[in-house]
Each structure stands twice: as C-alpha cells, then as structure tokens.
C-alpha cells in the first residue's frame, strides 16, 4: 500500500515537471551552437562578476526636510592662523540676537610661525588639490562621507624642522557654541571688550603699520567634529596686499544628519563665497580691517543615508542576467542559422541549374542528364 501511494506521488510529481527532458538521441550539436554557447557562458561570467561588484558597493541617499530644531546650540570649530602677534588680534562672535560670544569661551591663542615647514606645505598642497577636485566632481563627497572616521586626520601636522625663528603669527583654534541664528565670526585688531550698544575692539594701542591680515584657514566646520571630513575652506590661504585689507566670507550652513554603516552623526555642510577689498575711506570703501565670516543657517535639513542593495534584489538581477543572455543568444543563433540556410540554399540552387544538351535534330534539351553509375560500365 505504501509503495502504491509512493508510486502515485512520483507520477504526480512527474506530471508537474515544468522542465521536460529531451532524449540525447534527439539533441543535435553543431560547431556554431558550441561557439555561441561559449560566448554566452563568458558573457554570463563577466556580467555576474560586475553585478557582484555593484552588490558590494553602497551609495548615499539624500532626503530633505524642514529643520525643526531651533533650541540647540551651534558648534563652530575653528583653526585659523593670522600673520599678526596674538596680543594684537581678537576674535569673537556677534549674532542677530545681539548675543556676543567672546573667544575666551573656547578659543586658544597660540604664537606660531606663519610660514609652513616643507611637510606642512606638502599637506596644504594636497588639501588644496582635493578641494579643486571636489569642486569639479561633486560625487567625491559621497566617498568622503563613507570614509569618515576611517581616513587619516585632516588636521595640519606639527612642524618637523624645529625652527628657531621667533613666532610672528597667531594660531586661533578651538570651538565656540553660538545660537542657531545668523551671526558674524570675525578676527580684527585689538581684543574684544563688552559695550552697552554692542561690542568694540581695543585697537588704539596697535600700530597701523603692524596690520597684516594674511591668514590661513586650516580648519573651519560647524556641528560635530568628524575626522576625515573635508570642508570647503580647509587649506585656504590669503595674503594681504595692503595693511587695511578686509577679507569677507559669506557662509550658508545646511544642517546634516549623516548615517553610514560606520558612523551616525549630526554635522553641518556649508557653501561659501569670498570677497576681499582694501579699506580706503577717501575712495568710499568703508569698513574695518580684518577677517569676517558671516554665516546664515538654512531652514532645510539634509539626511544622508548610506544604502546597500538587498540580497533578494541581487538574486533577481542575477537570474535576469542568466535567463536573458540564454534567451537572447538562442534567438540570435536561430536567426543566424535561418539566414545562413537561406543564403546557402540559393547558392545551391544557382549551381544546380539545368544544363543544355544538344540533340541530333539541332534542338537542345534542358533536362538534367541522368546520373550513371560508373561501376556498371
């Protein structure tokens, strides 16, 4: 009884077979079919490797929404070197809410040498090269996002030459927390002092001849400090051509949430435009000598997420490649054989046309001559 049920089950499974087997005696092989099969297998192998490479790769997905966080503080990370002594310059922030944040709240004034050592010059040259490539190929920004926290530090390396030259510049570095409103971070002559109507800088005791706002921006970012991220102003160097030089940077900040397979952080991207001019009150060019970074915060927030192809999608694409190539090559092979048979049949018909046979009465016969067997002669 069990054998009978098992036999019925096997017969039922045979009837459900969607892949009928063709006896080998019915299968005809050919050189052209073998050549096409070899081409098909090679193409399948190549496309499978390429598809696996795509499957292993990831891409960045950008989503936009309104930034509803207006109560938190904005962190400004600063590392700027000015070609003046530290006692001659002062840095602070003044925002639209008339809130002043002094540099003493988080910035360090360090006397340094403005000229870079050979190793530092090489670092700056490479950083400027990367900046130029980023402006031409925006897709490189995705590579930087993926390599965050994994790449080498983008900070200026320390001097390796142990120069005995006395410091002639001031490195202002550290971070400040400000309100999430538009503001102005500036470095100008004299230390900042509080004022009932705003703020002022004590510049009367500084000689006008000592003004030199040549500067180098080794790092400027907003939000959480993420090693490996290169910001638009990193590596910028400006040389003042006059004592009364004003450098202005107009910055638009975009809050950004970064989610990759390695990190999850809240940072800020920004774009910047630059302007510089010489202060000359007689010519109508008014202002104050110094470095001014006027920033504004966008109301939109960008969420950058690293995505990966699902495994099921990889299998579907792989099946599509294998089935599609087999179907396409089969159709092309069949069409090629059809064309070849048509051409060769016409050639055979042309070569086998009837030949003229002369008759004794002068007429010709267009009938084909009967073939004879030489063995009967």
High-pLDDT (> 70) share of the chain, %: 82
- Classify the C-alpha dihedral 318-322-327-333 as positive or negative: positive
Higher pLDDT, residue 21 or 206: 206
Non-local (6+) Cβ contacts of 87 within 8 A are none
Average pLDDT, the chain: 80
CB hemisphere CA count around 38 (13 angstroms)? 6
pLDDT of residue 118: 87
Name the range with the highest mean pLDDT among 20-34, 147-161, 265-279.
265-279
Split at pLDDT 50, 70, 90, the class of 328 is confident
- Please check the confidence at residue 286 and state whether its pLDDT lies above 90: no
What is the per-residue DSSP string for 173-230?
Answer: EEEEEEESS-EEEEEEESEEEEETTEEEEE-TTS-GGG----EEEEEEEEES--TTPP
Contact indicator for 291, 56 with CB cutoff of 8 Å: no
**CA gyration radius for the chain?**
40
Q: What is the mean pLDDT of residues 159-175?
A: 85
Instruction: Compute the distance between CA of residue 288 and CA of residue 158 in angstroms, rounded to an integer.
Output: 32
Q: What is the mean pLDDT of residues 49-76?
A: 86
Contact indicator for 112, 170 with CB cutoff of 8 Å: yes
pLDDT of residue 358: 56
- Please check the confidence at residue 2 and state whether its pLDDT lies above 50: yes
- Which residues does residue 199 pair with via DSSP β-bridges, in sequence order? 194
Distance linking the first and last C-alpha atoms of the chain? 74
Contact indicator for 295, 231 with CB cutoff of 8 Å: no
| pLDDT one-digit tens code per residue, 171-181 | 999 999 998 88
Higher pLDDT, residue 202 or 319: 319
Residue with tokens 């030459």: 161
- Please check the confidence at residue 364 and state whether its pLDDT lies above 60: no
pTM of the model: 0.70
- Name the maximum alpha-carbon separation found in the chain: 138
Q: What is the mean pLDDT of residues 244-252?
A: 93
Element of type H or E holding 329 = helix 311-351
Give the burial string for 145-161 (b: 16+ CB within 10 Å, else e): bbebeeeeebebeeeee
Name the range with the highest mean pLDDT among 174-178, 205-209, 306-310, 353-357.
174-178
Split at pLDDT 50, 70, 90, the class of 376 is very low
């Amino acid at each position: 009884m069990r054998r009978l049920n098992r036999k019925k089950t096997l017969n039922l499974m045979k009837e459900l077979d969607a892949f009928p087997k063709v006896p080998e005696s019915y299968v005809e092989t050919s050189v052209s079919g073998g050549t096409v099969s070899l081409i098909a297998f090679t193409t399948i192998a190549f496309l499978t490797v390429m598809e696996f490479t795509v499957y292993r790769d990831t891409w960045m997905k950008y989503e936009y929404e309104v930034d509803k966080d207006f109560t938190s503080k904005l962190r400004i990370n600063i590392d700027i070197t000015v070609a003046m002594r530290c006692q001659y310059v002062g840095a602070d922030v003044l925002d639209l809410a008339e809130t002043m944040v002094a540099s003493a709240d988080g910035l360090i004034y360090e006397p340094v040498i403005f000229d870079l050592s050979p190793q530092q010059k090489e670092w700056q040259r490479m950083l400027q090269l990367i900046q130029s490539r980023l402006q031409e190929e925006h897709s490189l920004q995705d590579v930087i996002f993926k390599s965050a926290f994994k790449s080498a530090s983008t900070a200026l390396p320390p001097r390796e030459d142990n120069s005995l030259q006395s410091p002639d510049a001031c490195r202002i570095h550290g971070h400040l927390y400000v309100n999430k409103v538009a503001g102005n971070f500036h470095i100008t002559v004299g230390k900042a002092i509080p004022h009932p109507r705003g703020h002022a800088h004590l510049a009367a005791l500084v000689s006008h001849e000592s003004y030199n706002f040549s500067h180098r921006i080794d790092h400027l970012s907003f939000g959480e400090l993420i090693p490996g991220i290169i910001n638009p102003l990193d590596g910028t160097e400006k040389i003042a051509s006059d004592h009364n030089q004003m450098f202005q940077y107009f910055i638009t900040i975009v809050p950004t949430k970064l989610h990759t397979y390695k990190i999850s952080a809240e940072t800020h991207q920004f774009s910047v435009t630059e302007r510089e001019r010489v202060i000359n009150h007689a010519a109508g060019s008014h202002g104050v000598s110094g470095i001014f970074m006027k920033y504004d915060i966008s109301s939109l927030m960008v969420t950058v997420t690293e995505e990966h192809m699902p495994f099921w999608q990889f299998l579907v694409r792989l099946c599509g490649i294998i089935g599609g190539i087999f179907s396409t090559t089969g159709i092309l092979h069949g069409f090629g054989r059809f064309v070849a048979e048509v051409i060769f049949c016409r050639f055979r018909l042309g070569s086998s046309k009837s030949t003229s046979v002369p008759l004794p009465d002068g007429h010709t016969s267009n009938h084909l001559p009967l073939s004879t067997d030489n063995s009967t002669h």
